[in-house]
Structure 1
Amino acid sequence: MLAVFDKSVAKGPDALTSPESGSVSSLKDGFLAKHFASVHSTPVSVNLGSAGLMVYSMDKQNPLLPRLFVVVDDIFCIFQGHIGNVANLKQQYGLNKTANEAIIVIEAYRTLRDRGPYPIDQVVRDFQGKFAFILYDSSSKAAFLAVDIDGSVPIFWGTDADGNLVLSDEKETVIKGCGKSFAPFPKGCFFTSSGGLRSFEHPLNELRPVPRVDSSGEVCGATFNVDPDAKKESPSMPRVGSAANWSNY
């Protein structure tokens, strides 16, 4: 799977960008989408207009961690993996028996956005399983993604030459667009367009960037570790009708 979000939609941490990274413009002339199509059979590309793009393919899948793509009310979600407590979550969100994991993620997001002032970390922590997902809401031009606490489905992210955010489960694809400005997405964390990167395991702690150094001694993006001494408020989302919904939090 691949997602490229314009920097106006999702700006990655500054620590991801390495000097003289060798990055390119991922969105120009569909560069990265074309690369993805060259290494995957029957890829499906979703043009998000000025916001970017999402691409997925059902080939080269791990049968134990299947890939799903769902669109509901202009909310797009690529989900990979599985959630063990699906039945409980369907009941919690009032979904029918045929709802899959991607639909559950979309409904959880809509609940956060429209109705519930719940902590985001609590909602993501309720997903018990091995998973990663990337969600885009075209109505509010907001991105939302998360990786489970074990990093069972590795996601890599980086910034390209235009400052756009690149995300994929394939390291080589991210390197193609971002050069050395990339890193593994941290385990047990989520990212929102306006709230940035947070840990849902340790929601009251800041995340501290640690530069990554390759075998030649060059800096390649950064990893992010929980700082036990730096505290912040638990992330939450105001109710619908507020001047700013969760995507602007």
Structure 2
Amino acid sequence: MLAIFDKSVAQCPEGLQSPNPESVFALKDGILAQHFSSIHPNAVTINLGQPGFIAYSSEKQNPLLPRLFAVVDDIFCLFQGHIENFATLKQQYGLSKSGNEVNIIIEAYRSLRDRGPYPIEQIIRDLHGKFAFILYDCASKNSFVAADPDGSVPFFWGADSDGHLVVSDDMETIKKGCGKSFAPFPKGCFFTSSGGLRSYEHPRNELKPVPRVDSSGEVCGANFKVDAEAKKEPLGMPRVGSAANWSSNY
């Protein structure tokens, strides 16, 4: 799975950008989408317009960590992994018999967006299992990315030459688009357009970038760690409707 988001919908953390990026213009002319399609001939690529694009392939899957893709009411979601308490959550969110893990993520997101206020951290903590997902909501222009606390699914993010955010489960694709400006997506964390990167295990703590150094001694993106001494105010999820101007809250 792959997503590239324009800076207007996802501000890439500065710590991800290497001084010597060796990256490409991933959105320009669809370069990275073409690369993804070349290594996954049956991939589905969806152009979101100015916000970016997402791509999905069911090839070369780990049977224990399958990939899923769904679109509901212009909410696009890519999911990889397995949710252990799926039956409980399926009942909680009122899904039909045909519902699966990716539908759980979409319904959980819609609960946050439309029917809050629920702590976003608690919603993700309620997902027990091995997972990583990428969600984009066309209505609110909000991106939502998360990974489980153990980093069970190979999952990476980085910055291209224009500073656009790139997220994928494929390291070679990330390297193609981001050069040295990439890192594993932080375990137990989530990223949203409105709130940036946060830890759902330690929601009141800031995250600080720790530079990654490759075998040649060059800085290669950054790992983000919880700063035990730095606190921040809780954030919510932007809600859809006529009542709110969310920009004043962030």
Task: Pick the TM interval, shorter chain.
Answer: over 0.9
Cα distance in 2 for residues equivalent to 1:84 and 1:246:
36
Equivalent position SS for 2:144? strand
Deviation of the 1:247 alpha carbon: 11
Q: Partner of 1:170 in structure 2? A: 170
**Counterpart in the other structure of 2:228:** 228
Moved more, 183-192 or 97-106: 97-106
Secondary structure (helix, strand or coil) at the match of 2:175 reads helix
Question: Could you tell me which amino acid in structure 2 is paired with residue 243 of structure 1?
Answer: A
Residues 140 and 247, structure 1, Cα contact 8 Å, conserved in 2: no
CA contact (8 A) 2:140 2:238 kept: no
| One-letter identity of the residue aligned with 1:168 | S
Q: Could you tell me how far 1:245 is from its partner in structure 2?
A: 4.5
1:36 and 2:39 matched: no
- How many residue pairs were aligned? 249
Indicate conservation of the 8 Å contact 1:10/1:165, yes or no: yes
Aligned to 1:180: 180
Contact 1:15 1:211 (C-alpha < 8 Å) held by counterparts? yes
Partner residue in 1 for 2:3 = 3
The answer (yes or no) to whether the contact 1:43–1:55 under 8 Å persists in 2 is: yes
Q: How far apart are the structure 1 equivalents of 2:164 and 2:243?
A: 29
Report the TM-score when normalising by structure 2.
0.95
Report the counterpart of residue 243 of structure 1 in structure 2: 244
Provide runs of 4+ in structure 1 moved above 6 Å: none
Preserved CA contact (<8 Å) 2:156 2:169: yes
SS in 2 for 1:190: strand
Residue 238 of structure 1 and its aligned partner are, at CA, apart by: 6.5
For the residue of structure 1 that corresponds to 2:210, the secondary structure is: strand
Equivalent residue number for residue 124 of structure 2: 124
CA distance in 2, matches of 1:159, 1:182: 6
RMSD: 1.6
- For the residues of structure 2 that align with 1:60 and 1:237, how far apart are their CA atoms? 34
Per the normalisation by structure 1, the TM-score is 0.96
Matches of 1:28 and 1:82, distance apart in 2: 34
TM-superposed deviation, 1:61: 0.2
Stretches of structure 2 lacking an aligned partner (at least 5 in a row): none
C-alpha distance in structure 2 between counterparts of 1:48 and 1:66, whole Å: 24
Aligned residue in 2 for 1:199: 199
Query: Which residue in 2 is equivalent to 1:144?
Result: 144
Question: Could you tell me whether the CA contact under 8 Å between 1:83 and 1:101 is conserved in 2?
Answer: yes
- Unpaired segments ≥5 residues, structure 1: none
